[in-house]
Amino acid sequence: MAIKTFLFDLDGTLIDTNELILQSFLHTFETYFPDRQFTREEILPFNGPTLHESFSSVDPDRAEEMIAEYRKFNHEKHDELVTEFPGVFDTIKTLKEQGYKIGVVTTKIKNTVKMGLKLTKLDQFFDVVVTLDDVKNPKPDPEPVLLALKLLDSTPEEAIMVGDNYQDIVAGQKAGTKTAGVAWSHKGKDFLLEYKPDFMLEKMSDLLDIVIQ
């Protein structure tokens, strides 16, 4: 069946929030663990899971406090550190103009998602945005992907989930969609290939070639 619906992760896929996320974690850990120096390498695994999962793995008793501190810093620095990845705007615009259904499926909360989409002017294109606020079980559970498909009146067989982390690939696979990894993932192309996505995008415009196939 031909692909008619495109679902995208946000951070690390459409917009480059890697430095913002890194700086937000560094700030939070420096605030709560002033005697311990976290390296950038130690923080990388926290980019992908929910904030609750990440901070609970470090200090369950103070996780909610740390999330609040993280979000405060993250919002203050957001517009300074966030950009879109090359080719994203033009590709999403083309998909919209050609009549495809497009949505965002992310583990971020709604307010932060709105900030990123507005800053990059991508907010004008998406038919639906599913955030952490909308589901009980975030990716890699299929719930967010299935919710997006329901809201778009689409089926898994005609959809593709695009993302930069294993949570995106696994959620799409469990939901029954096609999947695509992005080679610009901070995790690395080889890491994503271990999860056997149907496609690997070297650049976002590669999606247009997939549609034409």
**Residues labelled as active-site residues:** 9
- Find the angle CA(199)-CA(176)-CA(181) to the nearest 5 degrees: 25
Cα–Cα distances (Å) from 57 to 49, 177, 210, in that order, read: 11, 31, 39
Tell me how far apart the alpha carbons of residues 145 and 204 are, in angstroms, rounded to a whole number.
Answer: 20
- Concatenating the DSSP letter of every residue in 54-96 gives HHHTT-GGGHHHHHHHHHHHHHHHHHHH-EEPTTHHHHHHHHH
Contact 104, 97 (CB under 8 A): no
Q: State how beta strands 178-182 and 199-201 pair.
A: parallel
Tell me how far apart the alpha carbons of residues 11 and 114 are, in angstroms, rounded to a whole number.
Answer: 12
* Helix/strand/coil for 179: strand
